[in-house]
Amino acid sequence: MCGLAGLARTDGGALSPDADGLLGRMAHAVTHRGPDERELLRSGPVGLAFTRLSLVDPAAGSQPLYSPDGSVVLIANGEVYNHRELAATLPAGSRPRNGSDCEVLVHLYQEKGLRFLDDVRGMFAIVLWDRRLNRLLFARDRFGVKPLFFHRNHERVVFGSEMKALFEDPSCPRELDWDGALEDQAMHGAVEFTEESPKTWFRGIGLVRAGTILSIDLSDGATDEHVYWTFPDPGQPRDDLSAEEFIEEYSALFAASVAECETSDAEVGLFLSGGVDSAAIAALSTVRPRTFTALNGSTLANQDAEYGRRVADAFGLANHQVLFDVGQVPSAEEWKSLLWLLESPQCGPEIFYKRELYRFVKARFPEIKGMLLGGGADEFNGGYSVPMSGGGGWTQFQANVDEMALRDHLHRSRGVAAWWEQSELPLVRPEVLRRGAAPEDSYERFLRWKYRDVQQYNCWHEDRTAAGSGIEARVPFLDHRLVELSARVPHALRERLVWDKRMLRDGLDGVLAHEFAHRPKVPFFYGDGVRHTYRTFAAMLAADGDALLDEALSGPRAKEYLDADNARATLRRLQDDPSSGHVEFLLRVVNLGLLEQMAQQPPRPPVEAKWGPVPAELPVADWESESAAIEARVLLRPELRDTLVPALDESVMLLSDQRDPLLRYVIVDGEIEYVIDGEETPGWQRLLDAVDGQRDLAQLLAAAGCELAEVEELLVQSVELGVLTLAEPAPAAA
């Protein structure tokens, strides 16, 4: 991984020496991406800045790279995994001179012109200057794993791996695109398909399309796009393969991709969640990487942390449980530093934990420069089929996908759409809405939506969280051969192969134990323990009298677009009950307000940012025997001793319902916050009735006629939510 930046005149002129200062500032803005080396070049109309993270051929892989005759100059960020295979196809006089994986691109360009990326496997962003043709090329890999942004005016183009490099140019606009952000499906989360190009979130800043070469004539600024790869067409299925042959081919391709992603002259690690994707990488790895697992309230509850350890033990891999206890709340400055690193309003809890994992790795194991990830498996291989089915199996999953596709037609035909909007059981057939539209395969649209999602969210945040610590994220599941195979499963075989990722899971038989290969999918931090995560980030927004929220709401455009009273009310609800909503939605609008101000007055570059303490590791010798201690450490749970005296908080009242003797209403600050049904939790209702602030826990349990195990979880939650307090007993009178 490296940092790219630069500028070029597009009016036929040459850069002046004044450009050197700008190049230096742009390089500094992306130094975190490449801390090992920095090179600047200004020649004629082009200025290039390159910062290097050396994973392959650290001694001889410096950039820019030149053709033998000096007519082609290239800087690249990423890895060309099949560079040796490609080099072997070149004429003897055109072979690379060193071990750099990217040098082969220069020779391929001289041999094939704009077809030079057709056979390249890897992840990359490329800037290539053809001096002979006086043209500048920008190019990205097929999934946009590596970023490349640009801004153009009438006389020049500026470009960089991150937008903060472009903002170093005073002529580059710094206006947040509020309308585009608020309308984007990735932000508002409406269950509908979108295939539009990923957004940069800022007006006037473009993002080179994935699978595309952008060509700019430096004589007159004329621009062309050459698309060298498009998402595979499920309408052209692989009918030549049986289900068993699909599984066999997928397994072979995946093993080859893991091997390619491990190619490095530096140490490579693995983020191990305990799910089938990262477990599969652990099973197939030949470099025996150190593994790292996030241990927080959510991953404790959904068992990701435990399974991460178990998978590592099964393969004899070192596993580091990186601790995030529920009391660890990011400061406002930490959040703003993370947001500026990301440059995306989608910054949220998942990204925070990923970033902190990388910080731990960088501090403890600086020799690790690459990280294997399980990302990208779910999107194209049935990873969302089970949760999207609502428990109804493949048929219901397909029906739900069909309903998502229908939403486009609902927007297009507002009059007829009323039949769907006003009734749970529409009396008009869906075909009426689709009249005049081309026939569609809704599952194909689902895949294309996920292709956009991978670019807008997954690849963006995986790249940035790793880059912030000078580490390169590598994603074996985003090998285009795997995605092409998955997308072309014939309709008749989809249920057999796509449902619940059967093509991957069944292919791991004999490689990965059944308990790991067939473990149900759980999201990174959602599930039973999500309230712990939500409480953490609600506390961050509410710290110092809602300081971070108030700052986000204070900008001129934020005042125009955001309802400040509702934002504060939403925060209060999340504080009172973390399950009352999704903290991510509040964070997204907060992020927009903060980014608006950051763009106007850019913060210090990430390499200069001040971060909090590096997370600690929680050593675990035996998970089963230490589970109680692990839970107590992560959740910071009070020790429920018999002598403690529970009492209602002074802001809380408990009221009965005269019409139903089993109902109780918990009133917090004058409003009903919780309803307790004695029919569902009889012991809990009786215990609350007995709470008087005088009797200790043992006495209350006796009065309620229940055991601690029956009410323990509810008791702890009530303390965490501030409904109950626990106090030591008053000392006996002398």
CA torsion sign, 501 to 259 to 255 to 482?
positive
- What are phi and psi for residue 257, nearest 5 degrees? -65, -40
Residue 221: other Cβ atoms inside 10 A: 18
Cβ neighbors of 429 (< 8 A, separation 6 or more) are none
Rounded-to-integer distance, Cα 370 and Cα 276, Å: 21
Cα–Cα distances in angstroms (integers) from residue 210 to residues 1, 272, 375, in the given order: 17, 27, 17
| Radius of gyration for the alpha carbons in the chain, expressed in angstroms and rounded | 28
Cβ neighbors of 650 (< 8 A, separation 6 or more) are none
Contact 139, 214 (CB under 8 A): yes
Cβ neighbors of 574 (< 8 A, separation 6 or more) are 534, 535, 538, 580, 581, 583, 586
Rounded-to-integer distance, Cα 76 and Cα 101, Å: 10
Encoded amino acid at 286, one letter: T
What is the SS3 assignment for 518? coil
- What are phi and psi for residue 488, nearest 5 degrees? -105, 20
Residue 409 half-sphere exposure, CB side, CA atoms within 13 Å?
21
Contact 693, 645 (CB under 8 A): yes
Rounded-to-integer distance, Cα 145 and Cα 142, Å: 8
Rounded-to-integer distance, Cα 25 and Cα 337, Å: 19
**Catalytic residue status for 2:** yes
**Two tokens at 639?**
């020790």
Cα–Cα distances in angstroms (integers) from residue 217 to residues 12, 21, 138, in the given order: 9, 25, 12
Residue 336 C-alpha from the chain's centroid: 17
Encoded amino acid at 132, one letter: R
Cβ neighbors of 596 (< 8 A, separation 6 or more) are 176, 178, 555, 557, 558
* DSSP per-residue letters across 589-611: HHHHHHHHHHHHS----GGG---
End-to-end CA distance of the chain: 71
Beta bridge partners of 665: 655, 675
Contacts 24+ apart (CB under 8 A), 64-68: 64/39, 65/100, 65/102, 65/103, 65/105, 65/106, 66/106, 67/106, 67/107, 67/110, 68/93, 68/94
Element (H, E) at 632: helix 623-635
- What are phi and psi for residue 468, nearest 5 degrees? -60, -20
Rounded-to-integer distance, Cα 478 and Cα 461, Å: 15
332: nearest Cα among 612, 670, 659, 596: 612
Instruction: Please pick, among 2, 172, 261, 459, the residue that the annotation labels catalytic.
Output: 2
Rounded-to-integer distance, Cα 512 and Cα 507, Å: 9
Rounded-to-integer distance, Cα 703 and Cα 234, Å: 65
Rounded-to-integer distance, Cα 488 and Cα 231, Å: 11
Active-site residue numbers? 2
